[in-house]
Structures are given as structure tokens and as C-alpha cells.
């Protein structure tokens, strides 16, 4: 057979042989490092047989493909170990993820992280046994029979998801078999080192209507030193956890008399959010948005019209009971119906469109108690919400504009490299979950895909993740624990305009239906603040820092000078405080450093006499002395740049 390598060179080999043997013909070294291969673009394990002309590529741990196969194999080893220890466990899914892997289980009795030692020991013995991992394919009927015998109901659902005509494959190691598309390493012994890192709850298929499963996270590397370095970094990252650091820095707090998911944003946090909000509202104004200010509650009539009452009631807070009270008042989960009501106040012509409404909106969602976390999952939040009402011809440019605004915000907050894009589509198999016809969905999703491709945005597709009224683009961020959350959303909507009977008069003087885009520019302020705390490790850039400068007196003799300088800075528009306590300078500097105040100005007798201040930056250290005017100019420049130092 003729094997064509990646560089285009060809190799003539006699007879069929395993992928590993083919790799050996390329080089012994490559074969030793080989984890998985691709023949004619299709993944093959190194123990699978190649028996005809094909293109051939080998992947090692240096390649993304190699790492994924390696870590995914480790997730099977985890599943096998858990199954050995807890024979009644139900297995859900176990993919490789960035830097590691996880597996979702349903345990009869919950386990804790204390059980990791036992599971890790079992995994080690599976690795030591070096069991070959063998792929097999079978018909759907046989697969159903096999899964029934294994008594794995989640696997049965996963099997049903495999489209007709697609190959159904299983991987077997020892007495453990799992439904899986692969690819895998050739044997369990190929895994050199791994570590289980954490345990969280996760809903089956990510849907809170489903059962909460136990997700075990782990990581795996080919070198122990690399893994140690990674675990060290992970520990460092945990110190940045906004739920810990945000409280330590006095940004927010919670109180059990107030309740779960209802954080109190403290003065420093409130200042940061105020600055963000001013920035966002000003930018939106520049981009043609009209500001609205609408109530946080309404009669449920509004949400009956919007469809939320039918589709979303269990996530809403409301006062009053159906069939008992004359009036039910709902705390709003969204702003849309309020802005639509404003739109309908007066007849609109095509000349009025697009209309872009924006609002800094307080909203409420009844998050389940197990789901609430710090500032990221809360019951009351502040959304930079907005809706664009446009003609069908304007849809593409308006969607592109909404995405451009998000990209601008990400750039300003230095978050561009920290997000991924997810295109959330409907689930055609569950059509009754959605409003609108199949044709509507295909049309709008098609338009959106074209726009995303034109904008050059890389994205993943999530089938079944769309809202009931349209497909959406989610901008996803990952917290220090590796948990992904939606930061911003742009959503197309072809349903609500009809429900609210929204109209405009088109060029021909006929009544026409507008289209709607739900969008956010900076998302939920609380959640974005959480992301920023972790990203900046609490060291907010000058323009966002709640306290930008702290003026320290070296001795009591210079206390008045320090206070005077602090008020000069405040008058110049900077956020400055004076620390004139009779404490040692070292202690005062350390405190300012811990609170991550960008600049500390020290005034001793000499500085007071010369009319200067000694300037110290939290990361750059001593910057020498300068006059107050010089410092103000320098600080103002840094604030205007919005750069992070």
C-alpha cells in the first residue's frame, strides 16, 4: 500500500499493518511518542490496522489531537475505576476538555473529594495492567442490546442521539466497555501520570430540568514535572477565585438574613460597577442606542403575551396566585416586553428603523439553591440589556453591529483572549419546545451562520441550547475552577414581534413585521465583575480601580500635607485617600499593596519641604519623586489609556 505523509512524501509498504507499525516505518522515535493517528482524515488508534492506500498523520502529546486522545483515555480509566468500586454507578459522558478531562456519574450515594485517593489507586492499577483498548462497531440493534445488558440508561439516550447512518462504536479495556466515538490510546498503560482535581454537580445535558450528576474533573500529562507545574498554576488560580478574593478586597459580601444569590455590592464594588456602567451607557449612546428606564415588575399579562409565563414560569419570582388573586405581579426575568411596549407607543415607519433600545436593567431569576455562586449565579442581577428592532434587510448589519460592540467591550476590558463563542441552535427533535416553524429556524440560523463566518468569528455549535424564541450567539468565559458561563449574548428573535403585534409601515405603505435582536454589551455587571476580579487578580487597571491613589504621611509632621495632596488629587478627578495614621510606613505600604491600590504617594519632611511626592506603583515599584501636578498628568494619561499595568 502507498502511505502519503503530511509533507506530501509517499511510502510504499507491504501488506496490512497497525498504525503503530506504519509509524515505525516513518521513525522509531515518532512511533515511541505516537498517541493516535489519522488515516485519510479519520482518527485511528495506534493498534488499529491500516490496509490500503491512505494519507497518514501521527499525533504525539505535543499536538492538541494527541493530548485529547490521551486525556479522553484517562476519562475511560476513571469510569472503569469508579465502576469497579461502585458497581451500581450510572455513566453519562466523559470528554477531554482544555487541560484535562471529566466524567459525569450518577452515584447511588453521593461521594466526596475524600474518595479520590481510593479512585486514584484503582485507576493506577488499571494503568499498570496495561489493558489493550479495543474498538468495535456494531449495528444499532446490537448496540441497544449491549447497553441494555450493561443497564446504562444515559448511554441509551446517547445512542439515540447518534444520527442514522453514522458508525456506532464501542471501546473495550479489560471487562469495561463504553459507547464512544473515540479516538483512544492503544492501551491503558500509555497514560503516564494523572490527577483527579475536583468534583462538582452538573446537570445531565446541562439542563436544570434534568438530574444533577456528579462530575469528576482530572488532568493527565505525559511528564510528571509538567503536571506538577500545571497543578501549581491551578492552585495559584484558585487564590484568584472572585468568591474569595472579592470578599477579601471588600468588593462584595453576602448575609444569610438577606439570602442566597443576593450579594451586597460594597462601596469598592459599587464604584467599579458605576464606572463600567457609565462607560457602557456612553458607548451605547455613541452607537445610536436610545436609553430606557422601565419597571422591575409587571402584571403577569405581559409575560403571558411574551410566552415566558408558559415557558419560563418556574424560573420567575411572582407575587399572587393564579385563579385566586385578581392580579399577579412578576419580578421581571428580562426587559424585552417592556421595551417592546415602548416601541408600540406610536406607529413606526421603515424610516424609523432600526431602533436600538438599551437599559441598565435589574432582573430576577429563580436560580436553584445548589447553583448559586458568588457573583456569577445570583437571583438579582444588573444586565446591560437592549433590543434592536429592525427590518429583515437590516438584520445582518444590526447583528454584526451588536457583535462588534461586544468585541469592543472585550478589547477594552482586556478579555478578548479569555472568551470563546458558542452558536446555540435549536433541537429539531424537540420542536415542540420552541415557538416558530422549522422553516423559521432554518432561515434565521442560516443567516446567523453567514454573518459569523463573514465576521471571521471562530465558534462551536451547541444544538438544543437556543432559547425557545430563537438561535443565539453566546460569548463564554471560564472561571478559575474551569467552569464555563455565558458572559454576553446576542439573540435573534422571529417570534416575539408577532406575539406583541409589533408593526412598521414599509416602503409600499403596507404593514410589516420587524425582526428583533436581543443583545447585551457587557452582560450582567455582577458576573462580568467576577470575571474581572479573577482576570486582574484584584489589581484593577487605573480607570476602574475604586481607589486609585493612597497618600501616606511618613510622620505625624506631614499628616496635613498628605491630606492636602489627597484633596488636590480628588479635585483633579482622581479617587484618592490619605492614610495619616501613626503607623510605620512599611505597614501602611503593605496594606495598600494588599488592597491593590495602583499608586502610593509618600510624603516625608524632605518631600514636604521640596513640594513633591515620592511615587510608588503596585507592580513597578519606586518611580522617584515628582510634583503633584506632574503626578496628576501622569495618572490622567493612564486613566484615559484604560491600559492595565
- Quote the least distance from Cβ 358 to Zn ion, whole Å: 11
- Quote the least distance from Cβ 75 to Zn ion, whole Å: 7
**Residue among 80 and 528 whose Cβ is closer to Zn ion:** 80
**Residue among 469 and 599 whose Cβ is closer to Zn ion:** 469
- Quote the least distance from Cβ 485 to Zn ion, whole Å: 18
Torsion (CA) 244, 246, 250, 253 in degrees, nearest 10? -70
- Quote the least distance from Cβ 178 to Zn ion, whole Å: 6
Q: Binding segment for Zn ion among 21-29, 393-401, 517-525, 564-572 (CB under 5 A)? A: 517-525
**Residue among 91 and 578 whose Cβ is closer to Zn ion:** 91
State the Cα–Cα distance between residues 459 and 476, nearest whole angstrom: 10
Count of Cβ atoms closer than 10 Å to residue 231 Cβ: 14
What's the residue count for the chain?
645
- Print burial letters for 1-27: b (CB count within 10 Å at least 16), e (below 16): bebeeeeeeeeeeeeebbbbbbbbebe
- Quote the least distance from Cβ 134 to Zn ion, whole Å: 12
**Residue among 176 and 252 whose Cβ is closer to Zn ion:** 176
Residue pair 589/614 in contact by the 8 Å Cβ criterion: no
**Residue among 44 and 336 whose Cβ is closer to Zn ion:** 336
CA distances from 531 to 236, 351, 478, 528 (A): 16, 40, 8, 5
Residue pair 628/568 in contact by the 8 Å Cβ criterion: yes
**Residue among 316 and 639 whose Cβ is closer to Zn ion:** 316
- Quote the least distance from Cβ 69 to Zn ion, whole Å: 9
Restricting to residues 155-194, name those near Zn ion by CB under 5 A: 180
Question: Phi and psi dihedrals of 142, rounded to 5?
Answer: -65, -35
- Quote the least distance from Cβ 28 to Zn ion, whole Å: 28
Question: Phi and psi dihedrals of 196, rounded to 5?
Answer: -80, 130
- Quote the least distance from Cβ 387 to Zn ion, whole Å: 6
- Quote the least distance from Cβ 262 to Zn ion, whole Å: 23
Q: Binding segment for Zn ion among 227-235, 330-338, 555-563, 583-591 (CB under 5 A)? A: 330-338
- Quote the least distance from Cβ 571 to Zn ion, whole Å: 42
- Quote the least distance from Cβ 340 to Zn ion, whole Å: 9
State the Cα–Cα distance between residues 344 and 618, nearest whole angstrom: 53
Q: Which residue is nearest to Zn ion (CB)?
A: 180
Q: Binding segment for Zn ion among 41-49, 329-337, 470-478, 588-596 (CB under 5 A)? A: 329-337
Q: Among residues 93, 336, 473, 544, which is the contact residue for Zn ion, using CB under 5 A?
A: 336
430 grid coordinates: 424537540
> Total residues contacting Zn ion (rule CB under 5 A)?
4
Q: Binding segment for Zn ion among 152-160, 327-335, 355-363, 365-373 (CB under 5 A)? A: 327-335
- Quote the least distance from Cβ 519 to Zn ion, whole Å: 8
Q: Binding segment for Zn ion among 189-197, 211-219, 336-344, 555-563 (CB under 5 A)? A: 336-344
Chain centroid to Cα 78, Å, comes to 25
- Quote the least distance from Cβ 104 to Zn ion, whole Å: 13
Task: Identify the H or E element spanning 238.
Answer: helix 224-239
Torsion (CA) 213, 430, 336, 302 in degrees, nearest 10? -100
**Residue among 55 and 172 whose Cβ is closer to Zn ion:** 172
- Using CB under 5 A as the binding rule, whether residue 302 contacts Zn ion is answered as no
CA distances from 553 to 43, 89, 632, 642 (A): 67, 64, 18, 29
State the Cα–Cα distance between residues 117 and 421, nearest whole angstrom: 36
Chain centroid to Cα 482, Å, comes to 9
Q: Among residues 518, 519, 616, 618, which is the contact residue for Zn ion, using CB under 5 A?
A: 518
**Residue among 180 and 529 whose Cβ is closer to Zn ion:** 180
**Residue among 180 and 265 whose Cβ is closer to Zn ion:** 180
Reported in sequence order, the residue ranges of 349-410 that DSSP labels E, i.e. its strands, are 355-364, 380-390
State the Cα–Cα distance between residues 30 and 27, nearest whole angstrom: 5
**Residue among 357 and 536 whose Cβ is closer to Zn ion:** 357
- Of 468, 466, 485, nearest in space to 476 by CA: 485
Residue pair 48/19 in contact by the 8 Å Cβ criterion: yes
Restricting to residues 337-356, name those near Zn ion by CB under 5 A: none
**Residue among 182 and 269 whose Cβ is closer to Zn ion:** 182
Stretch 466-505: interaction string toward Zn ion, x if CB under 5 A: ----------------------------------------
Residue pair 253/262 in contact by the 8 Å Cβ criterion: no
**Residue among 74 and 180 whose Cβ is closer to Zn ion:** 180
State the Cα–Cα distance between residues 344 and 87, nearest whole angstrom: 61
State the Cα–Cα distance between residues 569 and 548, nearest whole angstrom: 10
Q: How many helices (H) and strands (E) does the chain have?
A: 20, 35
**Residue among 336 and 639 whose Cβ is closer to Zn ion:** 336
Map residue 139 onto helix, strand or coil: coil
Helix spans in 86-199 (H): 116-128, 140-150, 153-161
**Residue among 27 and 136 whose Cβ is closer to Zn ion:** 136
Contacts of 564 (CB under 8 A, 6+ apart): none
- Quote the least distance from Cβ 36 to Zn ion, whole Å: 12
State the Cα–Cα distance between residues 577 and 558, nearest whole angstrom: 15
- Quote the least distance from Cβ 562 to Zn ion, whole Å: 50
CA distances from 630 to 496, 615, 635, 636 (A): 56, 11, 9, 10
**Residue among 34 and 336 whose Cβ is closer to Zn ion:** 336
Chain residues binding Zn ion by CB under 5 A are 180, 334, 336, 518
Amino acid at each position: 500500500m502507498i502511505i502519503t505523509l503530511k509533507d506530501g512524501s509517499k511510502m510504499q509498504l507491504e501488506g496490512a499493518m497497525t498504525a503503530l507499525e506504519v509509524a515505525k516505518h516513518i521513525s522509531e522515535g515518532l512511533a515511541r511518542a505516537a498517541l493516535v493517528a489519522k488515516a485519510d482524515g479519520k482518527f485511528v488508534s495506534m493498534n488499529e490496522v491500516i490496509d490500503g492506500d491512505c494519507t497518514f498523520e501521527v499525533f504525539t502529546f505535543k499536538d492538541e489531537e494527541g493530548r485529547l486522545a490521551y486525556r479522553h483515555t484517562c476519562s475511560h480509566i476513571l469510569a472503569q475505576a469508579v465502576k469497579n468500586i461502585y458497581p451500581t454507578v450510572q455513566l453519562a459522558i466523559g470528554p477531554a476538555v482544555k487541560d484535562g478531562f471529566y466524567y459525569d456519574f450518577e452515584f447511588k450515594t453521593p461521594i466526596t473529594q475524600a474518595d479520590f485517593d481510593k479512585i486514584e489507586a484503582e485507576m493506577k492499577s488499571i494503568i499498570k495492567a496495561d489493558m489493550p483498548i479495543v474498538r468495535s462497531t456494531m449495528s444499532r440493534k446490537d448496540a441497544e442490546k449491549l447497553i441494555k445488558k450493561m443497564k446504562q440508561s444515559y448511554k441509551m439516550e446517547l445512542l439515540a442521539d447518534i444520527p442514522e447512518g453514522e458508525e456506532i462504536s464501542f471501546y473495550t479495556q479489560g471487562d469495561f466497555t463504553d459507547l464512544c466515538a473515540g479516538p483512544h490510546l492503544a492501551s491503558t498503560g500509555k497514560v503516564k501520570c494523572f490527577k483527579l482535581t475536583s468534583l462538582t454537580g452538573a446537570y445531565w445535558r446541562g439542563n436544570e430540568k434534568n438530574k444533577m450528576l456528579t462530575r469528576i474533573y482530572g488532568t493527565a500529562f505525559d511528564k510528571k514535572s509538567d503536571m506538577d507545574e500545571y497543578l501549581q498554576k491551578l492552585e495559584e488560580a484558585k487564590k484568584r477565585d472572585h468568591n474569595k478574593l472579592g470578599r477579601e478586597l471588600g468588593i462584595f459580601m453576602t448575609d444569610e438574613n438577606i439570602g442566597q444569590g443576593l450579594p451586597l455590592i460594597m462601596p469598592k464594588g459599587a464604584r467599579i460597577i458605576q464606572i463600567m456602567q457609565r462607560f457602557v451607557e456612553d458607548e451605547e449612546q455613541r452607537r445610536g442606542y436610545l436609553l430606557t428606564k422601565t419597571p422591575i415588575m409587571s402584571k403577569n399579562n405581559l409575560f403571558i403575551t411574551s410566552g415566558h409565563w408558559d415557558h419560563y414560569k418556574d424560573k420567575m419570582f411572582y407575587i399572587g396566585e393564579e385563579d385566586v388573586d385578581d392580579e399577579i405581579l412578576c419580578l421581571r426575568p428580562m426587559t424585552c416586553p417592556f421595551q417592546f411596549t415602548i416601541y408600540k407607543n406610536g406607529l413606526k415607519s421603515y424610516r424609523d428603523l432600526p431602533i436600538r433600545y438599551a437599559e441598565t436593567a435589574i432582573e430576577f431569576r429563580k436560580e436553584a439553591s445548589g447553583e448559586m455562586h458568588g457573583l456569577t449565579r445570583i437571583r438579582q442581577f444588573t444586565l446591560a440589556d437592549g433590543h434592536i428592532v429592525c427590518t429583515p434587510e437590516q438584520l445582518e448589519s444590526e447583528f454584526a453591529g451588536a457583535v462588534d460592540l461586544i468585541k469592543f467591550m472585550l478589547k477594552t476590558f482586556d478579555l478578548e483572549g479569555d472568551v470563546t463563542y458558542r452558536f446555540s441552535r435549536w433541537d429539531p427533535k424537540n420542536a415542540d419546545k420552541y415557538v416558530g416553524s422549522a422553516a423559521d429556524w432554518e432561515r434565521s440560523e442560516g443567516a446567523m451562520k453567514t454573518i459569523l463566518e463573514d465576521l471571521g468569528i471562530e465558534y462551536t455549535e451547541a444544538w438544543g441550547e437556543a432559547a425557545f424564541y430563537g438561535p443565539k450567539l453566546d460569548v463564554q468565559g471560564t472561571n478559575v475552577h474551569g467552569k464555563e458561563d455565558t458572559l454576553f449574548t446576542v439573540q435573534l428573535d422571529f417570534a416575539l414581534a408577532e406575539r406583541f403585534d409589533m408593526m412598521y409601515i414599509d416602503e409600499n405603505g403596507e404593514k410589516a413585521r420587524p425582526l428583533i435582536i436581543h443583545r447585551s454589551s457587557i452582560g450582567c455587571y455582577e458576573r462580568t465583575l467576577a470575571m474581572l476580579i479573577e482576570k486582574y487578580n484584584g489589581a484593577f487597571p487605573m480607570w476602574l480601580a475604586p481607589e486609585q491613589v493612597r497618600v501616606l504621611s511618613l510622620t505625624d509632621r506631614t499628616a496635613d500635607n498628605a491630606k492636602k495632596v489627597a484633596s488636590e488629587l480628588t479635585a483633579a478627578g482622581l479617587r484618592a485617600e490619605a492614610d495619616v495614621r501613626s503607623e510605620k510606613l512599611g505597614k501602611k505600604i503593605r496594606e495598600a499593596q494588599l488592597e491593590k491600590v495602583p499608586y502610593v504617594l509618600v510624603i516625608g519632611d524632605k518631600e514636604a519641604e521640596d513640594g513633591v511626592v515620592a511615587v510608588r506603583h503596585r507592580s513597578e515599584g519606586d518611580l522617584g519623586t515628582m510634583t503633584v501636578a506632574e503626578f496628576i498628568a501622569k495618572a490622567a494619561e493612564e486613566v484615559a489609556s484604560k491600559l492595565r499595568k
